Amino acid sequence: MQFGILGGYLDKKFSKDSRITMILMVALATFLFETGKYIINIAMFGVPIEILAFLKLLIVEIIFNIILTIILQPLIKKAGYYMENVFKNNNILTRYF
């Protein structure tokens, strides 16, 4: 849910055409997700706190997601524009009333 809120906020602030912006958003979302997941694992399952191992995992996850974003960016961009047209331009509820 927090990523949807973050995406909605950043949608108005940054250009979707910039590859750098997209990479930064993916890195930030990965950082937030992995940190949240680690905190939940510590709180719920009693996982021992190992900062060095967590930082190694975090760096690998961020680099992997950035590489995937660079490779898949054209498809993500097309899907993003399609979804934007569906939800913003077409007033879906007005079709039925």
- For 12-46, how does the pLDDT look when each residue is reduced to its tens digit (9 = 90+)? 776 667 788 888 888 998 999 999 999 999 999 98
Label residue 14 exposed, middle or buried (CB < 10 Å: 0-12, 13-18, 19+): middle
Mean pLDDT of the chain: 83
pLDDT at 94: 54
Q: With CA atoms as reference, report the closest residue to 76 among 21, 32, 30.
A: 21
Answer yes or no: is pLDDT of 90 > 80.
Answer: no
**Spatial contact of 19 and 73, defined as CB atoms under 8 Å apart:** yes
pLDDT at 42: 93
With the CA atoms of 39, 43, 49 and 54 taken in that order, what torsion angle do they form, in degrees rounded to the nearest 10? -30
